[in-house]
Homo-oligomer: A and B are copies of this chain.
Amino acid sequence: MIKVIVVEDHPIMVEGLKNILRSDAGIELNGDYGDGKSVLQALEKGQPDVILMDVNLPDISGVTLCGEVKKKYEDVKIIALSIHDEQPVIHSMLQNGASGYVLKNALGNEIIRAIYAIMDGEEYLCSSTKEALKNADMELLKAIPRITRREKEILQLIGKGLTTMQIADQLFISTHTVESHRKNLMEKFGVNNTTSVVKLASEYKLL
């Protein structure tokens, strides 16, 4: 029996997943958790074979959670579940140790297939995910940029529509500093204006 746990904050979705998993005799559902903290606690008392993990959780990002789980329990396989097909999101999850990536618009049996595939040591990507990755060559694929606390702070204020000067005033730093951060954000996101930074940040749920 393959032991599976589900990490997902939408109860209706959990309901659907339970249903799907129940339909397969070789899979045993060992509990579900609505956020990152509770699953980390639960793992201390024993690990499943596979975690089905939503990428958007209420407390911490799926990318971070995935990395932490794999660091502590390297044998646990993780399948990412997501509504995003943005390449950097997919890429970041895989880099953080996920063995599979299945979009939420996938059919139920793709989940089952994914579980068996990764138990066989394969990496499983659902068809839409493959489609999304196909166009870019893996080498050039950008991950979600890692931004610092301060940068995030400034990003959020920019998102609120504040100008450089207003941000400087609010954080008690000079406008030059704000501009530096702005510049670094553009650099990290690989774009050349703040609008695009905000758009990407919004897509990656960084705001």
Contact = CB atoms under 8 A, between A and B. Distances in A.
Contact of A16 (B12, B83, B198): B12
Interface string A1-43: 0000000011111111111100000000000000000000000
B161 A195 contact: yes
Interface string A146-169: 000000000000111101000000
B108 A15 contact: yes
Q: State the majority secondary structure of interface residues on A.
A: helix
B12 A104 contact: yes
B10 A159 contact: no
A202 to B, nearest CB: 4
Interface stretch (A60-68, A93-101, A113-121, A186-194): A186-194
Interface of A: 9-20, 58, 83, 104-108, 111, 158-161, 163, 191-196, 198-199, 202-203, 207
19 contacts: A10-B83, A11-B16, A11-B107, A11-B108, A12-B13, A12-B20, A12-B104, A12-B111, A14-B16, A15-B16, A15-B17, A15-B20, A16-B19, A158-B195, A159-B199, A161-B193, A161-B196, A195-B195, A199-B202
